[in-house]
A and B are shown apart, each in its own frame.
Chain A
Amino acid sequence: MSLKQTIEMLSKGSAQAVTTLNSSSVDAEKLKNYLYVKTPIEKSLIGTIEESTKKRIIFLCGSSGDGKSEIFCRIHNKYSSTFEFHLDATHSFDPGKDAIQTLDDKFAEYKKATKPLVVGINIGMLGNFAAEGDLAHSDIKRSISKFLSGQDVSNAEHVFINFEQSPKFNLKGDLIEAPFIGPLLKRICAMDDKNPIYAQWKNSPDGTDLSRNYALLCVPEVQQRICSLLFYAHLKFDQFLTARTVLDFVYQILGGKGSLFDNIFCGKGSELFDSLRMLDPCHARSKSLDLFQVKTSLGLISPEFQVFRDDIRSEFGLELTESRSWVRLFYVMQDVELSNNFHHRFRDDLKRELFDEFRDIWQLHRDYDGDNKEKRTRLRKFYNDTFISAVTSFANRFAPEIQRDRFLLGKPNGFALSANSPIQPELSRLASEAPTQLRSFDTYLKVGDEKIGPVPVSVSFLELARKINHGYRPNTHDKTTVVKLEELVEGIRRIVRKTDWLYIQTDGSEWKLENNEYEDEIIVERR
């Protein structure tokens, strides 16, 4: 077996990508056993199984490629005498039946028998079964619906273990931890003869793209950067990072045509690569980066870069011709100490401020417990300078003439009708609520005495808010996150409208009207 063949087993197109109970080739078995990372999911499944052999259904739910079957294969022999296993609930082995009917039959069998049942099932299939499954199983359907809508399934007969429950990333300050992907990459790169990939690499000839790329991937900082990139893709483009996707990704970046750096950002053929293309550091604009690219493409090489380039060549055997490829290298290797550290001068230009801010604010929402003064100040700063400021600018975008602290209620016949009502973060609520998932955090506002929320803020929402604060004016035709912002503005407007002060502003005049119910009078003030 060559290095190439070994790496190819990681591809999602490989025959080994899907695990079945019938054992595969010896080499594949060896590689899989080596790469296998024990997940909390497996622990909790085994824990649940060993707890008791009471008759019940255990659902192991996840996306395709999460590793449901892999776990099943590993535990099947040990527990198959006391538990009934239904491995692939998305399939039917009888051409006359579809997957739903197969499940119906499986559950009917279970109800007659005495053994507990373990079902590996895709979340989508669960939804289908809840909608279309046989009426005889309405107890199971009820539990599934409850589980899908996020409620607690109190029914002890149906247990759900969900892959999505174990987070793919943990945030610790500036660090992005990937509890599954990190160890997986480490295993792939471990310099250990037990590692079949490393063993092959040692014996394979130098000078191929593949062996160079493997050496680059073995740099720990590169692995960490890749984890961060996958985190960004997960956040911004809702990428599902299943075991199969990650392995295929590794196969593509190692075995692709060019250097590792180009393979990461120029890959094709999967949704993950589509999103990574959007995260290409070449899109970053700064004077020094632009200058570097222009100069390099004209053959004007500074002495520092000359040294850096030669050192890279001698260390990794890497020849990069395009200046874009160099920028990608600068980005991916920004934390590595290399040669004269020429690449460190671009670190600030290549910063992902949006993601950094999201990461920080998300953690603030997670960690703020009401006591910490410093955190409270930072929260207030985010709400006032970024969030509320964007909402107000967006609400007032058709009336630049009104004062910044006011909220536009409408512009009937050209008269700007506005009012003001203090908008504040509801800090006490923020202290008691923590975000449950990485994709967004919930914000809570107080408008006057009324409360608004939760308003989930995702990376895209934050991006829009930042853009608005920099003067961008979205319109209703760019139907993206704007819809959510409009919804929020409507909610605030409804509250502000009820205040007892109104401002009417037109070309020449400005009026302030006060509703004085006590005197049954409207007090008018010309401004």
Chain B
Amino acid sequence: MQHLLNQLARLNDQKIGDNKIYSFLPYRKGAKEFDYDVVGCNVLSTLMGKHVKKNFSFEKYKTQCLDHLKDKLSDPDVLVDLEEMYFSDATIAKTAPEFLLLRSQEKCNTSTKYLIDLFRGFVSQGASQLDFDSGMNFIERIFLDILSQNLQEPRVQPTEACYLPFVAENFRRDVLFLSKHPDYFLDQLTSCIELYTFIYCSQLGLNIKNWTNGEVPSSKPLYFILDTEKASSERTLVMKGGYRSVAPRMADVFPILSMLEYLNNDSTVPKEPLWAFANAVRSTSAEQHDVVFAEVSKFAEEFRKKRKLHPTNRKPSNAIECMQQLTTYGIKQFDKSAKGDRHSVNATYIKFFETGVANNFIQARGRSSKVLVVNQDFLLLLTNLAIANRSPLRFQTLLAEFQSRGFYFDKSSQQALINFYERVGNVDRMSDSGDAVYVRNTI
């Protein structure tokens, strides 16, 4: 706690420069498309507590494997076929979860690297030693033995706390559940990463302004429809609580997070979310509060002058209000009316959310404009994750699990959900009442 207050008290030691962002958001200016595959491989490596050694290369590994086999085979002629089978296009990486480690060192763009950091943060707490029971054939077992000789313990430590602990917790639980089903894991890891990238970013947007009470963020309502459903403009929850509720919030994410970088000015401690600062301020002594209050006021005024903004009408009466004022300035500098190209900078952030993060979750639906949708593949994955080992699960409980993961459905979508499950055939009805619907997972 104290180190947060210390950082606030040191606010004015810094120069006010350009708006920069280093943490909590997986994309930056000029973001490129994420490579979810590589992120998945890295998540796995963190979870397993294993990394390929530094000087490891796929080519070397291939040679090791083939040399070893050559000794063992009674007729080495088959080696050509085995090589083609397992090593062209690195097919071996797709045969069992453990082999995904082969890809964790693959080159990737910087956006993907940020995403990897974010997800490492999710799973680093209490990283458990993962074990798979993936039933390999005897040749693959030989390859795996050779791979384990090329592994070592990792060294990375997280440099930031997680902004949304509930998302991290859900992700950890879900991915551990997935790992119990190796084939499904292999198949769905990438989708799972994409799903959680979206959940994190959208919930970040919905929670970003909710920090003043200093409480840990929780899942905020966000309404989806199934992609097979019609979006009628009469469905108010879908219309108002869906795309339109999250899209404008995404505009605040970059301004507030880049302002937060000033607050996190001690590089020797992990970076903390804004709500943690609010919590520290709220629970401190009156004396210390006044120190922080004075410092933040001074900094806010400096910032306002530097960005040439109009002062806010009300004068803040305590440190929290003052921090609020500061974030308001942070947002205001990106107003359309603001000078320079700041507005367009923020616009690229908003756009990337739509095209790079949420492209599989947003659909334009004629007169109803854009809506949030969840397609069948994600829905089935989400269902399996939500049910996990509690199959069959009561439909109402399932909906609550969806909500804790940031997916909310109105009554009409709930009906569509039941129809969908009936088509898949994983519903148990105990009576004809709509309440007694139980859903089983499909793995």
Contact B423 A480 (CB under 8 A): yes
- Which residue of chain A lies nearest to B396 when distances are taken between CB atoms in the complex? A131
Known contacts A494-B135, A495-B135, A521-B72: A164-B81 contact under CB 8 Å = no
Docked CA distance A515–B429 (Å): 48
| B-contacting 9-mer, from A313-321, A341-349, A405-413, A465-473 | A405-413
- Which residue of chain B lies nearest to A240 when distances are taken between CB atoms in the complex? B432
Residues of A within 8 A of B425 (CB): 458, 460, 480-481, 483-484
Known contacts A419-B137, A522-B72, A524-B73: A127-B394 contact under CB 8 Å = yes
| B-contacting 9-mer, from A28-36, A45-53, A117-125, A247-255 | A117-125
Residues of B within 8 A of A90 (CB): 433
Contact A125 B85 (CB under 8 A): no
Tell me the residues in window 47-69 of chain A with beta carbons closer than 8 Å to chain B beta carbons.
Answer: 61-65
| B-contacting 9-mer, from A199-207, A273-281, A498-506 | A498-506
| A-contacting 9-mer, from B37-45, B88-96, B235-243 | B88-96
- Which residue of chain B lies nearest to A515 when distances are taken between CB atoms in the complex? B138
Residues of A within 8 A of B135 (CB): 493-495, 497-498
Docked CA distance A245–B432 (Å): 10
Chain B proximity of A278: nearest CB distance (Å) = 14
| A-contacting 9-mer, from B265-273, B281-289, B435-443 | B435-443
* One of B72, B376, B424, B431 near A124 (C-beta < 8 A): B431
The reply to whether the CB of A449 lies closer than 8 angstroms to some CB of chain B is no
Residues of A within 8 A of B380 (CB): 479
Chain B proximity of A92: nearest CB distance (Å) = 15
Q: Bits for A93-135, please: 1 = Cβ < 8 Å to B, else 0.
A: 0000000000000000000000000000011111110010000
Tell me the residues in window 145-169 of chain A with beta carbons closer than 8 Å to chain B beta carbons.
Answer: 148, 164
Residues of A within 8 A of B72 (CB): 520-522
The reply to whether the CB of A308 lies closer than 8 angstroms to some CB of chain B is no
Contact A413 B436 (CB under 8 A): no
Q: Bits for B64-100, please: 1 = Cβ < 8 Å to A, else 0.
A: 0000010011110110011011101101001100000
The reply to whether the CB of B401 lies closer than 8 angstroms to some CB of chain A is no
The reply to whether the CB of A511 lies closer than 8 angstroms to some CB of chain B is yes
Contact A127 B436 (CB under 8 A): yes
Contact A497 B137 (CB under 8 A): yes
* One of A64, A148, A415, A520 near B433 (C-beta < 8 A): A64
Known contacts A164-B430, A479-B423, A502-B138: A524-B74 contact under CB 8 Å = yes
- Which residue of chain A lies nearest to B394 when distances are taken between CB atoms in the complex? A127
Contact A504 B84 (CB under 8 A): no
The reply to whether the CB of A18 lies closer than 8 angstroms to some CB of chain B is no
Residues of B within 8 A of A481 (CB): 425
Docked CA distance A131–B84 (Å): 56
Contact B394 A131 (CB under 8 A): yes
Docked CA distance A484–B139 (Å): 29
Residues of B within 8 A of A215 (CB): none
Contact B396 A128 (CB under 8 A): yes
- Which residue of chain A lies nearest to B91 when distances are taken between CB atoms in the complex? A412
Chain B proximity of A166: nearest CB distance (Å) = 14
Known contacts A128-B396, A415-B85, A484-B425: A65-B432 contact under CB 8 Å = yes
Docked CA distance A122–B134 (Å): 43
The reply to whether the CB of B126 lies closer than 8 angstroms to some CB of chain A is no
Contact B74 A522 (CB under 8 A): yes
Docked CA distance A459–B72 (Å): 50
Residues of A within 8 A of B432 (CB): 63-65, 240, 242, 245
The reply to whether the CB of B426 lies closer than 8 angstroms to some CB of chain A is yes
Chain A proximity of B82: nearest CB distance (Å) = 8
- Which residue of chain A lies nearest to B137 when distances are taken between CB atoms in the complex? A497
Chain A proximity of B88: nearest CB distance (Å) = 6
Chain B proximity of A172: nearest CB distance (Å) = 27
Contact A413 B88 (CB under 8 A): yes
Residues of A within 8 A of B134 (CB): 494
Docked CA distance A63–B72 (Å): 66
Contact B78 A480 (CB under 8 A): no
Docked CA distance A195–B433 (Å): 32
The reply to whether the CB of B434 lies closer than 8 angstroms to some CB of chain A is yes
Contact B431 A490 (CB under 8 A): no
Docked CA distance A494–B137 (Å): 9
The reply to whether the CB of B136 lies closer than 8 angstroms to some CB of chain A is yes
- Which residue of chain B lies nearest to A63 when distances are taken between CB atoms in the complex? B431
Known contacts A480-B425, A523-B74: A504-B81 contact under CB 8 Å = yes
Contact B138 A500 (CB under 8 A): yes
Residues of A within 8 A of B174 (CB): none
The reply to whether the CB of A417 lies closer than 8 angstroms to some CB of chain B is yes
Residues of A within 8 A of B442 (CB): 483-484, 487
Contact A479 B424 (CB under 8 A): yes
Docked CA distance A73–B443 (Å): 46
* One of A126, A419, A490, A509 near B183 (C-beta < 8 A): A490
The reply to whether the CB of B397 lies closer than 8 angstroms to some CB of chain A is yes
Known contacts A128-B435, A131-B396: A504-B137 contact under CB 8 Å = no
Docked CA distance A65–B72 (Å): 71
Residues of B within 8 A of A495 (CB): 135
Contact B86 A412 (CB under 8 A): yes
Residues of B within 8 A of A523 (CB): 74
The reply to whether the CB of A337 lies closer than 8 angstroms to some CB of chain B is no
Q: Bits for B164-207, please: 1 = Cβ < 8 Å to A, else 0.
A: 00000000000000000001000000000000000000000000
Residues of A within 8 A of B74 (CB): 521-524
Known contacts A131-B396, A521-B72: A504-B78 contact under CB 8 Å = yes
* One of A128, A164, A498, A509 near B137 (C-beta < 8 A): A498
Chain B proximity of A303: nearest CB distance (Å) = 48
Chain A proximity of B200: nearest CB distance (Å) = 28
Known contacts A63-B431, A123-B431, A131-B396: A415-B137 contact under CB 8 Å = no
Contact A125 B435 (CB under 8 A): yes
Q: Bits for B120-148, please: 1 = Cβ < 8 Å to A, else 0.
A: 00000000000000111111000000000
Docked CA distance A487–B94 (Å): 19
Chain B proximity of A490: nearest CB distance (Å) = 5
The reply to whether the CB of A238 lies closer than 8 angstroms to some CB of chain B is yes
Docked CA distance A513–B442 (Å): 34
The reply to whether the CB of A526 lies closer than 8 angstroms to some CB of chain B is yes
Docked CA distance A520–B74 (Å): 10
Interface centre among A128, A506, A513, A520 (most CB of B within 10 A): A513
Residues of A within 8 A of B89 (CB): 413
Residues of B within 8 A of A497 (CB): 135-137
Chain B proximity of A379: nearest CB distance (Å) = 25
Docked CA distance A460–B425 (Å): 9
Docked CA distance A128–B95 (Å): 44
Docked CA distance A90–B394 (Å): 18
- Which residue of chain B lies nearest to A500 when distances are taken between CB atoms in the complex? B138
Instruction: Give 5 closest A-B pairs by Cβ, nearest first.
Output: A124-B435, A124-B433, A124-B436, A63-B431, A524-B75
Pick 13 A–B contacts, CB within 8 A, sort by A. Answer: A62-B431, A64-B432, A65-B432, A240-B429, A412-B94, A479-B423, A483-B425, A487-B442, A494-B135, A502-B139, A506-B81, A524-B75, A526-B78
Report B's interface with A, CB cutoff 8 A.
69, 72-75, 77-78, 81-82, 84-86, 88-89, 91, 94-95, 134-139, 183, 376, 380, 394, 396-397, 423-426, 429-437, 442-443
Given A128-B435, A511-B78, list of 7 further CB < 8 A pairs? Answer: A63-B432, A124-B436, A125-B435, A494-B183, A502-B139, A509-B81, A526-B77
